[in-house]
Chains A and B, each alone.
Chain A
């Protein structure tokens, strides 16, 4: 049971890291629907480099670096060139899906390194992610940088008029989102499940994207949502803890995805919207033209 809990927390951490980067991204008005692709590429890079160098640390750095590069590409396409954010995100996702399959295939199988070090039986990514939540909350709600990020996400024209560099802030947020997506991918392939397989994520990135919507763009709610989804994900892999012998294991695997659809639908109902209001950034997904 302790093992299940530790695994669930680790799974939660991966959702949380990816979603936290996307949350900052979206608070600045940039939607990156290619999150899954960034995680795939970051995770694959981390795996290949760690295997090649024999070092988890170098692999981790490579994962984050690839995330940064892809985040910057999204920033370039959607902020600097003012392209359609969905087209750019989808492009990055399919690019990553295709290229990682080709680049990673010869390395299909286990990482072949010793286990990723743990901290009190937990993955070290767990405390890192929690600290990042605190940091993101603090920066977003207590600093002038946070005010700038939120203002370019709500009303870029007003932000620009008050002297904020809209393009610069948005680009920076896209890069930050990319870095955390890369980190999340690396956490997956180096620690959570160090076995490379084509398209190994199979929806983790899209669930993380959905978690940002569930969180109503609040890092604390995101933390809670990620823990819930991490536990649910882990239980869907080991249904014997819930209802042994009921339904096939394949049907259990559909549960997190069905719950995601159900929650997405629930938070979109007029009832929910009128009571809770969605704190959706006003300018989300809209390129800013000055």
Chain B
């Protein structure tokens, strides 16, 4: 196409610069928020008011900010759970299942330690350490199963993780409903509440799992940037065939990324159900927390596989989901504002990802030279 002396064409791009990636991520988030404002508007709420209420609650209200920070830690752990396998080219969408597995394991440890008995719990500091450890282990076992099937038999990891999400969803119901092993003695459909002694200490309102999540995000980036093991995962993710020729064992890489990913998701389950003030139990609507884990997928994708870059993303999405829920109540919006945002963010990310592969190329076209006039021959009439 030509426009005033410029030729314009759309071409496939080979490489992207960090600046473009950042602009793309920001564009995706802004576009999703703009699209969501159409939803608010059709529901009779002014988008500006809706965002002011949502973000005001999430970041400026003390109780809202507390909820945002707790959720950000949860989302960051879920992000890492998705991000580590993703660097190896694998999709761990089994976050909810691994979250439930972690929560169940942590509560099982508490139960064995006598959390439901009147006498109280002995060796509380040991149990307080064992609970997250058991959660990470349970998540890792579930993730490891996926990794094993993928590595040994090339079974599609997306299908297996989704199946295990459903399995764990129903198993959680089995544990906390209709007389299940972890059911509360006083309320049907939820787990017992952790006694005071088994609630981890808080610093600035946050449990130790918050520090763990931040440390893990930095450590993951360091491993992928500097360590040989991280290099092997990245090489495998970029080109499994070439990685194999370079002597990288695909079975090992696949198994490890899923073990680690599962452990992070298990810890996320521990964090939200066993370490966040106000909860300390597996509630009836545990499925909602499982669904929130999918924000981890978008976080990791938008942060382009960087744990540290995912921290502000996790904070933003935590704020949007906490604030969205609040605005939903305040403005009487339909249920599921946080779900709608999740969906819109995902699709705008896909769009930005696609747009990123193309470039609009402008080129100045030299002005056309006048065609020489035919020679005038004298004497010819």
Binding site for B on A (CB under 8 A): 33, 36, 77, 81-84, 86-88, 90-92, 94-99, 101-103, 105-106, 198-199, 202-203, 206-207, 209-210, 213, 248, 250-251, 253-254, 257-258, 260-261, 264-265, 268-269
Contacts and interface: CB of A to CB of B under 8 A. Distances in A.
20 contacts: A83-B353, A87-B353, A88-B350, A90-B158, A90-B297, A91-B347, A94-B294, A97-B339, A98-B336, A98-B339, A98-B344, A98-B346, A99-B343, A99-B344, A102-B335, A105-B336, A202-B169, A203-B163, A248-B180, A268-B154
Given A198-B336, A261-B164, A209 B350 contact: no
Interface of B: 39, 91, 93, 149, 153-156, 158-160, 162-167, 169-171, 173-174, 177-178, 180, 291, 294, 297-298, 301, 334-337, 339-344, 346-347, 349-350, 353-354, 357-358
Given A83-B353, A254-B166, A265-B153, A90 B340 contact: no
A290 B156 CA distance: 28
Contact of B346 (A77, A94, A199, A206): A94
Given A83-B354, A86-B91, A257-B164, A102 B340 contact: yes
Given A105-B336, A257-B163, A83 B357 contact: yes
Main secondary structure of the interface of B (DSSP, over half): helix
Contact of A33 (B158, B334, B342, B349): B158
A101 B164 contact: no
A231 B220 CA distance: 45
Contacts of A207: 163
B155 A98 contact: no
B170 to A, nearest CB: 4
A264 B336 contact: no
Contacts of B340: 98-99, 101-103
Contacts of B162: 36, 203, 206
A105 B338 CA distance: 13
A254 B170 contact: yes
Contacts of A36: 162
Given A81-B354, A250-B174, A258 B346 contact: no
A86 B178 contact: no
Contacts of A87: 301, 350, 353
Contacts of A261: 149, 155, 160, 163-164
A206 to B, nearest CB: 4
Given A102-B335, A213-B156, A260-B159, A202 B354 contact: no
